[in-house]
Structure 1
């Protein structure tokens, strides 16, 4: 086969491979309920041909942005605060909040004028929760819906963060009956298909430039609430691994770091009982490559 024919053949193979992955994504995520042990972690990333050079988000502002930590359990605040401070974020942390307080603080932070001069925003939530909400310390309440939290920071409701990466890391401790493997958070690199108002479009200058749901990195980890019921509960394995990766390997892209985090969690899950496992879902609408260090 001549060099020209070989190049065309390789080009067709590459195109076919790309289409094959797109078709798989359109078919939806795998049914992890059939194999909860073998496939406890779901993640997706956008397919890019090898010849396409990835753009990077600008991450040079000082501070990089606000990092909001809401910890209703109390095991993880110190290491998270130190980690995101070292990355260059202005950390604001709160402990043991009610549902009403969580909602009020999120709204206040979403409207902060500092976002205009920052390159990103990060939020870490640690709490007991339901399949699609976080409870805070008042567990009898229905909780704060996760979709509502995300909506507060979309481009039309928080225009100062339009076009900038918005990072969410959520550790939710839930009752295990059918909630650890709930598939509503599985992702195919786009807005959640179950978003209550995904079809609603508010007119405004930002709508024509950047999609209101663009630039989100949404990492959700669920674990059994029984992990908190011992005499001394331990910090979240998920958040511990996240902090370690951000400390030691921040020059790698966030997607690469999350893939490695998944591997560590998977290794842990293969050695422990079902009640001790962590289930991680990643949903992102990033349009560019994201590095949390510009050094």
Structure 2
């Protein structure tokens, strides 16, 4: 598991779910990509039953900006693709969970705002795992077994004193109930977020859930 800009409550929560947690604070864009690549390596994934990635970052509609000031970073699509069977065969057939909170930056979001020396991270960012023995991944669809939960809100909320993400707080509280189906966990999160938006129209959270899980998954 990998965290970016994390509150300690998330580390405690996922440790309680028996995940081996790797905590990373304040990475730049290049560091973020390197850390994700490292997490997808065979030695990190060969004996795991599931993989979870929780990211908190400034971002645009398509990119994670981490702590960099330019407008182009690691594509969200790259984050997901790094852990597909094509690039991470050790996770083929295993649940891959992504919980992402981004804070949307304002202003133009194009390549012209990237300073010299900061190359774009695109298809070339993806590297296929090197592994010693052949793995039978042909029968596993590329997009199978993914739970993708992405929430975004305005970065102005970071200026609030003692800010805490409504999304991540709702995730923590829903998981604490234990023995709950993962989709039911997200249903409860939706309820909390929509209730927050109704009461705070100037501080809205937007949420997008996509999943291709083929098995029931419970948070025990």
Q: Report the Cα offset of residue 132 of structure 1.
A: 0.9
Q: Secondary structure at the match of 1:140?
A: coil
Distance of 2:96 and 2:147 partners within structure 1: 6
8 Å contact from structure 1 (residues 155, 212) kept in 2: yes
Q: Report the Cα offset of residue 229 of structure 1.
A: 2.3
Deviations 1:76-118 (Å, cap 9, x if unpaired)? Answer: 4300000000110111011111000000000001104242211
Which residue of the partner structure matches residue 101 of structure 1? 31
2:150 aligned with 1:217, yes or no? no
* Runs of 5+ consecutive residues of structure 1 not aligned to the other structure: 1-66, 180-195
Q: Report the Cα offset of residue 140 of structure 1.
A: 1.2
Which of 180, 190, 211 aligns to 1:252? It is 180
Distance of 1:245 and 1:128 partners within structure 2: 25
Distance of 2:190 and 2:69 partners within structure 1: 29
2:61 aligned with 1:134, yes or no? no
8 Å contact from structure 1 (residues 227, 233) kept in 2: no
1:77-96 maps to which residues of 2 (within 5 A)? 77-96=7-26
Distance of 1:121 and 1:115 partners within structure 2: 8
* Runs of 5+ consecutive residues of structure 2 not aligned to the other structure: 110-121, 129-133
Task: Please give the TM-score of this superposition, normalised by the length of structure 1.
Answer: 0.63
Q: Report the Cα offset of residue 247 of structure 1.
A: 1.4
Which residue of the partner structure matches residue 214 of structure 2? 287
8 Å contact from structure 1 (residues 254, 291) kept in 2: yes
Which residue of the partner structure matches residue 273 of structure 1? 201
Which of 77, 83, 104 aligns to 1:174? It is 104
Which of 205, 208, 214 aligns to 2:138? It is 208
Larger Rg: 1
- Which protein has greater RCO, CA pairs closer than 8 Å, 6+ apart? 1
Which residue of the partner structure matches residue 4 of structure 2? 70
The structure that is strand-richer by fraction is 2
Deviations 1:181-210 (Å, cap 9, x if unpaired)? Answer: xxxxxxxxxxxxxxx98xxxx9x9645310
Which of 242, 248, 271 aligns to 2:171? It is 242
Q: Report the Cα offset of residue 139 of structure 1.
A: 2.3
Q: Secondary structure at the match of 2:186?
A: helix
Q: Report the Cα offset of residue 233 of structure 1.
A: 4.5
Q: Report the Cα offset of residue 235 of structure 1.
A: 1.2
The alignment's C-alpha RMSD in Å is 2.2
Runs (4+) off by over 3 Å:
204-207
Q: Secondary structure at the match of 1:97?
A: coil
